[in-house]
Amino acid sequence: MVVEKIPVERLPGIAQIQRLLMKYYERKLFAEVMNAAKMPQHIAIILDGNRRYAEKMGVDRFYGHFLGAKKLEEVIGWCQELGIKHVTVYAFSTENFKRDEEEVKNLMNLLAQKFREVAKDPRVHKYKIRVKAIGNLGMLPEQVQRAIDEAQTATRSYNGHTLNIAVGYGGRAELAEAVRKICERIKNGEIAPKDVDEDMINNYLYTAGLPDPDLIIRTSGEERLSGFLLWQSAYSELYFCEAYWPEFSKMDFLRAIRTYQSRERRFGK
């Protein structure tokens, strides 16, 4: 008599047990992170892997971007649970404009839709999250600029929490713009070259008024910053995750925070 070997994952009730174990571990990890001595106040995330996730799942690329936008909503909620006040996300770079014309058009439509939704999102107003788009916004279509203005206007009075969305963003371009503005002030006789210091440069960056990110997370297994927050990331802790952005789980997020908490930040000392 031949007895068929049934894979463990196909045994009755195994999937439910696995889900329960994952939930248990997630709650345990959440408690561990919450009880740690330090919590990042500003995290930055490079949202990478939308297209590759779509290819992996055999769906249209745009659907990957749609799922990525939904994932961002989840992650903002996780940040609120942990009391993380400032979040900056890399959504669309200046280089991304070189992608297929149809893909860029669909992405712009998605951005406009999401900014309009943010302006009316009750969670945004409940937690008083100030929403700001950072980057060369003049490169964006008019409909996206209008949606951004709507979101920024609706939240401009909030100062407890911040969500920066980098669109049409390039780190070198940000620094060049800051230098240009400082040079104009020197040319006009408002300041002298000797007055230029790190604090002044900080004040001309898109993130002026915010602390530098404590932690930068990048998904999809890539291990580089790709021009993201080049000045601000000087002493940020970096965490690279294998998961593509749409499949980035709360467990992945908590592990990133726990890793940050386990590191000793010396700031060059």
Residues identified as active-site: 48, 96
Q: Are 71 and 248 in contact (CB under 8 A)?
A: yes
Instruction: List Cα–Cα distances, 54 to 37, 99, 157, 247, in angstroms.
Output: 38, 16, 38, 11
Q: Are 88 and 42 in contact (CB under 8 A)?
A: yes
Estimate the share of the chain in helix, then strand, then coil, as percent rounded to the nearest 5: 55, 15, 35
What angle (nearest 5°) sits at the alpha carbon of residue 178, between those of residues 173 and 180? 90
Residue 40 identity: P
Per the listing, tokens 């006040």 go with 85
Residues whose CB falls within 8 Å of the CB of residue 237, separated by 6 or more in sequence, listed in order: 214, 215, 216, 259, 260, 263, 265
Handedness of CA 53, 59, 61, 63 (dihedral sign): negative
Order of all β-strands in the sheet with 215-218: 129-134, 161-169, 86-93, 42-46, 215-218, 237-240
Torsions phi, psi of 237, nearest 5?
A: -80, 140
Q: Answer yes or no: are the C-beta atoms of 143 and 112 closer than 8 Å.
A: yes
Pinpoint the alpha helices (H) of 188-249. Answer: 198-203
